[in-house]
Amino acid sequence: MTCPALIDFEASCLPEYGQSFPIEVAIARIDGLSRAWLIRPCEAWKYWDWSEEAENLHGISRELLAQKGQPPAQVLAEMAEFARECNVYADADLDAYWLEVLCQAVGARLPFPVRYLGEFIQKRGYTRSQVVAALQEAKRRLPKEHLAREDAKRLALVVKLLLAEPPQA
């Protein structure tokens, strides 16, 4: 594997408000490269839920998805190519869920497993104070939230900052 990569999704609503589907995904590698995709909703999601609260958080409307969203199969293919040779991590299990929803919609297999970032941190022996310091520094440098690319880039920066110092466990 060449480098860790972080994945983040934005969705049509939060799961507690209904059956959500992925509308944006981004992958950021710790080498600084990142990609983001708007996902055109597929027919299978036609009657799934949409929340104005979520739209207000991420700023992505149904109209924007209709105009600029890419077909789910294309998004999956490009994601697989971009993350090739990377271990992909997320900070929440919802990201793995939305990747599964995306794959199911087009009858595709998972392009890669999504691992939990906490396991990466724990396995390498970083302390809570090291993780908090890295999170704070990453948030200072990349303060925008609820945009898949910015969230993925911030998480990738956290990992990069942690890898730059030895674990203290």
pLDDT of residue 41: 96
Is 7 in contact with 114 (CB distance < 8 Å)?
yes
pLDDT digits (tens, 9 = 90+) for 35-57: 999 999 999 999 999 999 889 98
Average pLDDT over every residue of 77-86: 96
- Please give the full DSSP string across 16-41, using - where no structure is assigned: GGS---EEEEEEEETTS-EEEEEBPP
* List of domains in the chain: 3-163 (3.30.420.10)
pLDDT of residue 169: 55
- Burial code (b: 16+ CB inside 10 Å, e: under 16) for 123-159 equals eeebeeebbebbbeebeeebeeeebbbbbbbbbbbbb
pLDDT of residue 104: 96
What is the model's pTM? 0.94
Q: What is the mean pLDDT of the chain?
A: 93
Is 158 in contact with 135 (CB distance < 8 Å)?
yes
pLDDT of residue 2: 63
Contacts by 55-59 with C-beta closer than 8 Å and gap 24+?
57/146, 58/10, 58/23, 58/24, 58/146, 58/147, 58/148, 59/146, 59/147
User: How many CA atoms lie less than 13 Å away from 136 in the CB half-sphere?
Assistant: 6
User: Which range among 4-13, 74-83, 159-168 shows the weakest confidence by mean pLDDT?
Assistant: 159-168
Does the pLDDT at position 69 exceed 90?
yes
Does the pLDDT at position 147 exceed 80?
yes
Question: Which secondary structure element, helix H or strand E, spans residue 155, and what is its range?
Answer: helix 148-163
Average pLDDT over every residue of 115-133: 95
In sequence order, which residues have a C-beta less than 8 Å from that of residue 59 and are 6 or more positions away? 146, 147
pLDDT of residue 16: 77
